[in-house]
Amino acid sequence: DAGVIQSPRHEVTEMGQEVTLRCKPISGHNSLFWYRQTMMRGLELLIYFNNNVPIDDSGMPEDRFSAKMPNASFSTLKIQPSEPRDSAVYFCASSLGSDDTQYFGPGTRLTVL
Amino acid sequence: EDQVTQSPEALRLQEGESSSLNCSYTVSGLRGLFWYRQDPGKGPEFLFTLYSAGEEKEKERLKATLTKKESFLHITAPKPEDSATYLCAVRPGGGADGLTFGKGTHLIIQP
């Protein structure tokens, strides 16, 4: 049974470029979460969706970040324009219901030069 | 504001040397305390969920316990393959379903 799938696994880009991270949740899961992990701040929630609807985006750093979930099997996190301080590992997690156990993907390591 | 503090930040043990990791939390209405294991370059892997003070859960050499202020992850007779970063997280009361994580304890088990 496939777990959460994220792509790309690694992304290196230059400051000012647009970056799109992708996530496919576990089939049948109705909730999807985006987290960011840095050495300084640890794992932080950015945004989460229930049944494809954004519920809480209070963790999104600023307007340069946006997330969408056009259907139950796909979500994107976009950064435009990217900045060096956005360098981090971005994780996607999904759960059956919003208050069930969250299962994490392998992450996307983003480096902005 | 919800807060999770883990200690120690790093711990080095000899194989077979038992110890405990601490997770102290401040949260408005706990709706679950979670332990995850994270290996280098991978996503967090779920271990346990605890919901109420006094609850305990076990899996192989790991046992998690919960009080009103903190949780402990006890590791009995660890093996080198138990080396990882252990993350603690809480789900607060109210409507928010995202998790608030501690920064983790980096555990190294030496053979």
Q: What is the pLDDT of residues B67-92, one digit of tens each?
A: 999 999 999 999 999 999 999 999 98
Window from A63-77, A92-106, B54-68, B76-90 with minimum mean pLDDT = A92-106
**Overall average pLDDT of the A76-86 stretch:** 97
B contact test, residue of A23, A29, A102 with most B CBs within 10 A: A102
pLDDT at A100: 86
Q: Does A100 touch chain B (CB under 8 A)?
A: no
* pLDDT value of residue A22: 98
In angstroms, what separates the C-alpha of A13 from chain B's closest C-alpha? 19
Map residue B66 onto helix, strand or coil.
Answer: strand
What is the distance in angstroms between the Cα of A99 and the nearest Cα belonging to chain B? 6
Distance CA(B3)–CA(B88), nearest Å, equals 11
Is it the case that residue B95 has pLDDT exceeding 80? no
Q: For position B101, what pLDDT does the model report?
A: 96
The SS3 of residue A85 is helix
pLDDT tier at B97, thresholds 50, 70, 90: confident
Least confident of A49-53, A96-100, B87-91: A96-100
B89 touches chain A (CB under 8 A): yes
Q: Do B100 and A45 touch (CB under 8 A)?
A: yes
- Give pLDDT, residue B44: 98
Residue A97 in this model has a pLDDT that exceeds 90: no
A33 near B CB under 8 A: yes
Contact of B33 with chain A, judged by CB distance below 8 Å, is answered with no
Shortest Cα–Cα distance, A85 to chain B (Å): 19
Q: How confident is the model at residue A1, as a pLDDT?
A: 65
- Kindly write down the DSSP assignment for every residue of B31-62, as one continuous string: S-EEEEEE-TTS--EEEEEE-STT-EEEETTE
Reduced to 3 states (helix: H, G, I; strand: E, B; else coil), residue A84 is: helix
Structure confidence at residue A107 (pLDDT): 98
User: How far is the C-alpha of B66 from the C-alpha of B73, rounded, in Å?
Assistant: 9
In which band, very low, low, confident or very high, does the pLDDT at B106 lie, cut at 50, 70 and 90? very high
| pLDDT score, position B96 | 74
Buried b vs exposed e over A74-90: b needs ≥16 C-beta within 10 Å? Answer: ebebebeebeeebbbbb
The per-residue pLDDT for range A15-29, each reduced to its tens digit, is 999 999 999 999 999
Mean pLDDT of A46-55: 95
Q: What is the pLDDT of residues B7-40, one digit of tens each?
A: 999 999 999 999 999 999 998 888 899 999 999 9
